[in-house]
Chains A and B, each alone.
Chain A
């Protein structure tokens, strides 16, 4: 890996935030970190950005001036206008005056914020704020772009615009690490790191993860929980039998990436790490 974390451990107070996390972030690729609330996504990205010092492990990152980072909280100045936010950031990164306007205009166009140039950051909708924050992180054309849940609570139209920015940066050679709680965003990435309780429970391409989960899956319309390892999908239950053997009345189904993510998280929660190897289904 060019940039990223290798077997990183981090404690916060007495709590273990990260327990041996490896997270590659390579140029021209998107790595998605997915997990629930408290799984360690923000801790990973803070270590990668140099905002938290790990207790053990290796961190590979470019110099601070080549990193773009957007925290899960806003990451912009509420009392500055959109244009002022961009200009302030450009000056902070010492972007030459001749390039500042051109780069800002390009990003305003890409984000659809050109019409909001003179509005205060704090008066923008949630989706517009996230787009502005990502634009600010991209102004200095970073080598490593780190985004902490840029799309949580954002509507799908704004989410598509944010992903266009992210993908464009990767296509131009930037290494991108982005955290999310949405499975369908993880499915977009070339590389996914699934976290649970500060540990990696699955890692690889979405297809690798789908094929790494052992056992078989089933579906049931039972009123009550049909098996211990089961969860809701719509009006039915999804059942996971890691060792095979579905209960009576449960029909076999082919799992999708969402099933694999939930199953791997369940396994991680129960301390049974899903093996990295591909097991026959």
Chain B
């Protein structure tokens, strides 16, 4: 079986509020899927559906080919953003506790974290705590990993090291669902699913999602003045080193700058994932 988890037209309503609306999602073996969305987009509800903590109001959710249950949940490893470790226990004690909970004692600490075995988890740097949480979540050899912001707050190099572990697990056949607000992390995934207002609003590889989006790059002698002119016009604009990147066609941006008396070179450039994401999720709903 290559499909590990699947939602087919799954919806979840709480009274009059629809948190998840007709969502299709599939996670296959060896695949890392990124789940993106602003706060309140429905990501957490969708994960709770996949774990069987909620039953869908409509549609189908399958975990390892059947409805999620205690038995299927044992085959999932989950790392919440808050890590889910006991800060007042040592690394070895956290490891032993999880092993006992899953009924697989006798496995030693992996080499990557054994150096900290006697340290209290709460006293370790954040990057080390994340390494430990990830190792603990992998200790029962889960087939599906669900990771919430796995590298938040650790920096680019430590983040790349955590991704070695995620990629190793995927290489060994596990699937992973990664939720993140960090678009650099999103770019590490094989495939992305973008949610807004409970619906899937974009899906596919990162470059396919950004492909149809352009922004205007503005180069001029006084970027602060150009920013002030565009910002006053209500145009979303961000600095980019010594240039600016504005949302809109190059012609519209050049015109706004000319009206504001700014002499600038404006060119259309491909949007990055963050710019495309903001454009997709803030676009007024069409359906």
Which residues on A are within 8 Å of B, measured CB to CB? Answer: 28, 30, 34-39, 125-127, 149, 152-160, 163-164, 167-168, 170-172, 181-184, 187-190, 196, 205-207, 223, 225, 231-235, 258, 261-262, 265-266, 269
Chain A residue at smallest Cβ distance from B186: A156
Query: Chain A nearest CB: distance from B193 CB in Å?
Result: 15
Contact with A along B132-163 (1 / 0, CB 8 A): 00000000000000000100111111111101
B39 lies within 8 A of A233 (CB): no
A37 with B127: in contact, given A189-B241, A190-B242 (CB under 8 Å)? yes
Residue contacts A-B, CB under 8 angstroms, 27 given: A35-B155, A36-B158, A37-B127, A37-B153, A39-B155, A155-B38, A156-B183, A157-B281, A163-B238, A163-B239, A167-B238, A168-B231, A171-B227, A171-B228, A172-B228, A181-B154, A181-B156, A181-B159, A188-B241, A189-B239, A190-B242, A196-B157, A206-B241, A232-B188, A234-B187, A234-B190, A235-B167
Q: Which residue of A lies closest to B182 (CB)?
A: A182
Q: Is B240 in contact with chain A by the CB < 8 A criterion?
A: yes
* Nearest CB of A to B120, in Å: 16
Residues of A within 8 A of B126 (CB): 37-38
State how many angstroms separate the Cβ of A272 from the closest Cβ of chain B.
14
**Interface contact B153-A190, CB-CB below 8 Å:** no
Kindly state the separation between the CA atoms of A206 and B245 in the bound complex, as whole angstroms. 15
Check A149–B153 contact: CB distance below 8 A: yes
**Assembled-state Cα–Cα distance A35/B125 (Å):** 14
Residues on A with C-beta less than 8 A from B282 are 157
Interface string of B169-203 (1 = CB under 8 A from A): 00100000000011110011110000000000000
A154 closest partner in B (C-beta) = B181
Query: A167 contacts which chain B residues (CB < 8 A)?
Result: 227, 231, 237-239
Q: How far is the CA of A181 from the CA of B149 in the complex (A)?
A: 13
For the complex, give the distance between the alpha carbons of A156 and B278 in Å. Answer: 7
A28 proximity list for chain B (CB < 8 A): 224
Interface status of B236 (Cβ within 8 A of chain A) = yes
Nearest A-chain residue to B40, judged by Cβ: A125
Contact check, B231 vs A171: say whether CB atoms are below 8 A apart. yes
Inter-subunit contact A160/B236 (CB<8 Å): yes
A157, B38: Cα distance in complex, Å: 7
B240, A188: Cβ atoms under 8 Å?
Answer: yes
Task: Give the residue name and chain of the A residue nearest to B172 (CB).
Answer: A223
Q: Judge if B9 is at the interface, Cβ distance under 8 Å.
A: no
- A265, B274: Cβ atoms closer than 8 Å: no
Residue pair B239, A232 in contact (C-beta under 8 Å): no
In the complex, chain A residues whose CB is within 8 Å of the CB of B171: 223
Interface size of B in residues (CB-CB distance below 8 Å): 50
Contacts A159-B181, A164-B231, A269-B157 aside, 7 further interface pairs with beta carbons under 8 A come to A34-B156, A37-B154, A37-B155, A155-B39, A167-B239, A232-B164, A262-B157
Q: When chains A and B are docked, how far (Å) is the Cα of A207 from the Cα of B156?
A: 18
Q: Output the least CB separation between A215 and chain B (Å).
A: 17
CB pair A265 B38 closer than 8 Å: no
Q: How far is the CA of A266 from the CA of B40 in the complex (A)?
A: 37
CB distance A233 to B183 under 8 Å? no
**CB closest residue in chain A, given B224:** A171
Q: Is the CB of A187 within 8 A of B183?
A: no
Q: Tell me how far the C-beta of A43 lies from the nearest C-beta in chain B, rounded to whole angstroms.
A: 14
Contact B278 A152 (CB under 8 A): no
Please report the C-alpha to C-alpha distance between residue A205 and residue B153 in the assembled complex, in whole angstroms. Answer: 23
B81 at the binding interface (Cβ < 8 Å) = yes
Bound together, the chains give a CA A261 to CA B154 distance in angstroms of: 14
A261 touches B156 (CB 8 A): yes
By the criterion CB–CB under 8 Å, are B278 and A157 in contact? yes
Q: Which residue of A lies closest to B37 (CB)?
A: A155
Find chain B residues with CB under 8 A from A149 CB: 153
Is B241 within 8 A of A234, CB to CB? no
Nearest-Cβ distance from residue A218 to partner chain B, whole angstroms: 15
A36 shortest CB reach to chain B, Å: 3
Give chain A residues whose Cβ lies under 8 Å from the Cβ of B163: 231-232
Report yes or no: A205 in contact with B241, Cβ–Cβ below 8 A. yes
Answer whether A265 and B239 are a contact pair too, CB < 8 Å, given A157-B38, A157-B282, A231-B164.
no
- Nearest residue (CB) in A for B155 is A36
Q: Which residues of B contact A38 (CB under 8 A)?
A: 125-127
Q: Which chain B residues in 228-271 approach chain A with CB under 8 Å?
A: 228, 231, 236-242
Complex interface: chain B residues within 8 A of A189 (CB) = 239, 241
- What distance in Å separates the Cβ of A154 from its nearest Cβ neighbour in chain B? 6
Contact of B72 with A by CB under 8 A = no
- B272 CB-CB contact with A under 8 Å: yes
Q: Which residues of A contact B157 (CB under 8 A)?
A: 36, 196, 231, 262, 265-266, 269
Q: Write out the residue numbers on chain A whose beta carbons fall within 8 Å of the beta carbon of B240.
A: 187-188
Min distance, Cβ A94 to any Cβ of chain B, angstroms: 28
Asked whether, in the complex, the Cβ of B242 is within 8 Å of the Cβ of A184, the reply is no
Across-interface contacts of B95 in A (CB, < 8 A): none
Question: Are B127 and A182 within 8 A (Cβ)?
Answer: no
Q: Output the least CB separation between A266 and chain B (Å).
A: 6
Chain A residues closer than 8 Å to B182, beta-carbon distance: 182
Q: Which residues of A contact B281 (CB under 8 A)?
A: 156-157
Contact residue among A125, A188, A190, A196 (Cβ-Cβ distance under 8 Å from B39): A125
* Residues of B close to A232: CB separation below 8 A: 160-161, 163-164, 167, 188
